[in-house]
Structure 1
Amino acid sequence: MSNSYFGTDGIRGLANRYPITPEIALKAGMAAGIAFRRGTHRHRVVIGKDTRLSGYMIESALVAGFTSVGMDVFLLGPMPTPAVAMLTRSLRADLGVMISASHNPYHDNGIKLFDPEGYKLSNGTEDQIETLIDSDMSEYLAASAALGRAKRIEGAHARYIEFAKRTLPRDLRLDGLRVALDCANGAAYKVAPDALWELGAEVVTLGVEPNGFNINKGCGSTAPDALCRKVHEVRADIGIALDGDADRVIIVDERGRIVDGDQLMAVVAQSWHEDGRLSKPGIVATVMSNLGLERYLGSIGLELVRTPVGDRNVLEAMRDQGFNVGGEQSGHIILSDFTTTGDGLVAALQLLAVVARSGKPVSEVCHRFEPLPQVLRNVRYRGGRPLESKDVLAAIEEARDRLAGAGRLVIRPSGTEPVIRVMAEGEDQRLVEAVVGDIVEALQGAA
């Protein structure tokens, strides 16, 4: 039986520790290359990365793996995850790779794989690659004359910038808008400021000086306080915070208040609904999205389809059921008319289009509904299975009884770290806080 290398979003872990080691990266490159080596044409793979120090190590190992099985490698350098997905399609590649651990600290890293259409791999394909990693792949090694070549692609940044700009009407400009932009010292530190500037915005930047260690450190979508302060300082019309690989976005309005993915989805849903651009009357979101979003969509005749947490689950439901807007409260927004994965810059541009057309401040545009009280707490554990503890199960059952008919409870383990997330929402703030507190206490006792 093969080991399980893939988690909920690729292979991820502490850099230079199993499974994020040069050895596994090399084998993953070989295995993925073998799995996608179909037909007799010259095969190619696109590789992008964020700004982590360990990206150099993983990139080199992947290149060795891919070229050893005869695949040519196109190196993009630091690029957003959605750019890698887009360029995989644009360059007619057989496979795309993003080296990133998204919003995690610099010492983590990961390997995300995309198929020729720019979609994340199915579980079946991941299983096939895992089996190959644990096998003897020497029989698949290319002959000396058939080894792959590696080259850096010039102009990749310009390609993605032009793609992002084309998601807006050609006559729409952002003149007169002052935008505070936090790129998290991550993958979008070059492309995002240039795209906004080319559209006419005045751009004030944060998090655009990566050094290999400062990605997501006190900046970006998971730490927006610095952006809130900058919006006040420069009197910006809007603040935009991306995460380390730029597949998610958080907005800050002109008053310095944070706008989450739920409000952003509400803005896009209403705008596209009015323009007749929704493929179906509704959107897809996860169980974590606020009940206020669901009620708001219902008030304008739209449906909210909920999925388990994870942008892959959202995209799967969108594809299966024919929706073209979906996302997560955390800021992963998928607009399938344009992208095959979350794209923080493209999502922000859709909001800016509404702001530019309406002439209204962001605080007004982005306040589509009053969210219900919602409490989310994370409990870190060292090992074992705390969710199977009798005390924890009893606390969860009691919480469900107390919330019956008055709210929702969602408890789930993180797919990328040893953390259990406890979320409750309802009309009564005190009740929500109390049930979450009781469950957290039980988890801490069992962790």
Structure 2
Amino acid sequence: MQVIVIGAGDVGYEIASRLSRDNHDVVVIERDPDRAERVNNNLDVLVVQGNGASARVLEEAGIKKAELLIAVTGLDEYNIVACMLAKRYGVEITVARIRNQEYGAKTSVLSNEDLGIDLVIQPERVAAMEIVRLLKNPAATDVDFFAQRKVQMLGFRVDAEAPIVGKKLSQLSLNVLIGAIARNGDVIIPGGDDIILANDTVFVIGKTGSMSEMGFLTGKSSERIRRVMIVGGGNIGYHVADMLQRYKDLGITVKLIEKREERCRELAEQLQDVLILKGSGTDLELLKEEGIEEIDAFVAVTGNDEVNIVSGLVAKHLGVRKVIVEVNQPTYAPVVDTLGLDQAVHPRLVTAGTILSLLRRKSVFSVSILKDDKVEVMELAIQPGFRAANKKLRSLKLPRGVLIGSICRGKEVIIPRGDDVLQPGDRVVIFARPEVAETVAQYFKPKA
């Protein structure tokens, strides 16, 4: 597919990298010369330096042949204009990153269709939703749902004294399936002979609500979170606080620290049930003054990776049970595990998963990217004409690095074994190494 990506920040760079790796023809448009040079030096794509909202620049990038345009600059208006121009040139699919929710809203004069946008992506809002899911599942490092929330995937970091340490997967009597194991910066798609080690992160999939025993087996407490402190009053911090304040009747209290005085005033007006504090998340005296020792969860989303990590470390040192940090730079991802922080949320990976779902839409419902792009979790539909329908799973010729994690058939959720079969209408969740993910998506496409 011919794809144009406008904007080479963290999100645009990640999207271009993934699409190039999946053998799409990618052109990146970027105004900033340093960002353009970074893409040109590191990715197998064509780079055009210029304004992506310019018809001349779009033509130079090959807009007349493009099938997909993705506009992810930091300015909503640029992204909208680029999509409107792309539709005039006949581009089939347009995607825009939009921060201002007034654009394309139901109450807006202009709809997304009027603006020439087929899909709106909001990395900050989606990242906030992921953070709230993690806060609702305090024992987990990762949370996701599939098959209309009938199937749930949770990640757990295994404590040294956990009951499952040292055991082979084949020895575990579970009503769920371990689909992947993260260990020492890599991810294993496991078999029955693989052994669980201390400090592994295991990704478990099963029927929603069936994982109550996993917290105990991995040595994790599932004590409910009630007191949350957020550092950073940008878009992610605002959305997290806004979502959490709706649970005030359940005893959830939220404090938000923001260093910009004007932004503090804005947040105080918008978040009536959140205590807004002016200051820095690395200010030890402020944190102690605001009762950090009594906080259940600490969320650092300043937009600055270094500040997020340092403030997260301070919170962990002061005894906070759950620490979640926003990380944008890929080089920092391994640091989070090494330093003992509970979870990193990556807006760029969330967005890349959305784009991959769109590109594979003939067979794939959704894509989740785990452990900084070490493994993909795909939800696929088994269509009529699927070549391997009604064949036993053990006979399927799937590539190495692939594991079928669950089968949803109507209301039934099946944890698959070798003798199970796939039937048209099933929704299947698959763990796959990224280098074989596109092959898997093609394998499950129906015959033409």
Give yes or no for TM over 0.5.
no
More strand by share: 2
Of structures 1 and 2, the one scoring higher in RCO (CA 8 A, sep 6+) is: 1
